[in-house]
Amino acid sequence: MCGIVAAVGSIDVELCRRMLTRIEHRGPDDTGEIRRGNVWLGHQRLSIMDVEGGHQPLTDAGATTYLVANGEIYNHRHIREDLGHALFETGSDSEAALHALIVDGPAGLARLRGMFALAFTTQDGDFLAARDPLGVKPLYWVRRDDVTLFASELRAFDVEDRPLVETFPPGHCWSPAGGLVRFADTVPAHVRPARRAEEPGVWERSLVKSVREAIVTAVENRMMSDVGVGVFLSGGLDSAIVAAVAAEYAAEHRQPLPTFAVGSPGSADLAAARRVAEYLDAKHHNIEHHEVVMSRQDAVDALPRAVRAIEHYDPSLVRSAVPNLLLAEYAVRHVHAVLTGEGADELFAGYAYYHREPFTDPDALQAELVRTVGELHHLNLQRCDRASMAFGLEAREPFLDRDVIELALSIPPEHKMIGPGIEEKKLLREAFEGWLPDEILHRGKEQFGDGSGAKEVLEEAVRSSPDVAAAEGVELRNREEAGFYAIWRQELDGIRPDRTLGLFATT
């Protein structure tokens, strides 16, 4: 996990260095830059794989190609085997992306399984920028007549460039010669339910097994690290499943598993997370559980920092970002990477609104699930990335593994609908029976900002904010959002929300 800056065209090196400095929090362990002709690449590194040898920009043995990358390539070992170990100079997973592009050109992006934003150049002046299909890793760009600029965060860009900043679209690559090209869909077109469910809530055991195995594999792949991995444990179903699988993997490899929970004194999330940690520790004897108790004043004090960190003002995101930020600030003292439960609600219909009109129709529900998965890159994934990377902590989301997404969205939507005796996410709960305490396995959905105790405190903190109508040119939905927007604008004035941000359907 890192931060990148790239420029192609008429290079202003001092501008590029200013941009890189503004995101140094993303990679506190190392920094690097290189200029070749009309291309400049810069990198801030958080060292997780090959701590000693993974300095970026990475280059090949002949120093003819260069790459900076943010993220993790989870299948880098398979790529090494396919391309030949002799090509590789380091143990860095990002080097797999370098050689995939050297060997196959832009088609090499199809080899990469993971989360990434990257920039690649050759000494002959060829240039390519790309972002993973789901947009787990952030990337923004500015297109001027004389230069194209790329960066991992909005704050990187100079004030005069901010009105031009746009989100670089997930699943796309760009080169000066070829322009913007889609190389992968967020949800591939072939992924759709194979058939309608004859009896909602009743399925074959093979489906339960497939769901469990896909999630277990995704968690195990994300335990990849040379410096240890922990789990953000909210006490909800999704993060508890991730913790249960990670605990078993860590036990098999004789490793401890740090878990981290946050909440107000006596909050439901803290109590539930503690129960999960105690259960898993009794089973595997390897859990190191940590709690961050958040007072009302802690939440109020963290609010401006959270809005600035996540570069967003959507109330649902901000309410979650405040406890998320405090947890990341604590967790980074113990680990460099954490697993989270993001994505499960979008794949298995966990949110309450999925079970109201018009989504009581199976086709409408399926369409909404596909839509919300596609919107994650500038909503929950943005909050998750920024709140953790504010302190140089990498977040990994097993539920958003490509195989898990394709399997989950191929399940008949009727199997994700509630009814008499059918709770939300019943299939997911059944897949992990025996892995968690029953009271956690059947705990109802509660938004992180609610269960942690942040929601009411933050609503009160901005109650005296300016009227919604006071925000010029931006449509704000209530006074709370207007209050968060005022903080956002102080940090990111000039950025156009319509080109860079998404908003939840409800607040």
* Catalytic center residues: 2
Provide the 8-state DSSP code for 231: E
Distances (CA, A) of 14 to 9, 34, 156, 229, 507: 14, 13, 13, 36, 41
Q: What is the CA radius of gyration of the chain?
A: 22
Q: What is the DSSP string of 248-308?
A: HHHHHTT--EEEEEEESTT-HHHHHHHHHHHHHHHHHS-EEEEEEE--HHHHHHHHHHHHH
Partners of residue 114 on adjacent β-strands = 73
Cβ 340 vs Cβ 228: under 8 Å: no
CA–CA gap between residue 64 and residue 402 (Å, rounded): 32
| Three-state DSSP state, 157 | coil
What ranges in 138-267 are assigned the alpha helix state H?
Answer: 205-221, 237-252
CB 445 within 8 A of CB 424: yes
Query: Hey, what amino acid is at 184?
Result: A
CA distance 184 to 165: 23
Q: Which residue has the tokens 């000494």?
A: 123
Neighbours of 160 (CB within 10 A): 9
Total residue length of the chain: 507
Side chain identity, residue 358: P
- Cβ atoms of 59 and 97 within 8 Å: the answer is no
Structure tokens at 238: 């999704």
**Which residue in 339, 338, 340, 408 sits closest to 373, CA to CA?**
408
Q: For every residue of 11-67, which 3-state class applies, written as one string?
A: CCHHHHHHHHHCCHHHCECEEEEEEECCEEEEEEECCCCCCCCCCCCEECCCCCEEE
Dihedral sign (CA 303, 306, 308, 310): negative
Containing 9, the helix (H) or strand (E) segment is strand 2-9
Q: At what angle do helices 315-331 and 479-492 cross, to 10 degrees?
A: 60
CA distance 143 to 164: 7
Write the single-letter amino acid at 127: F
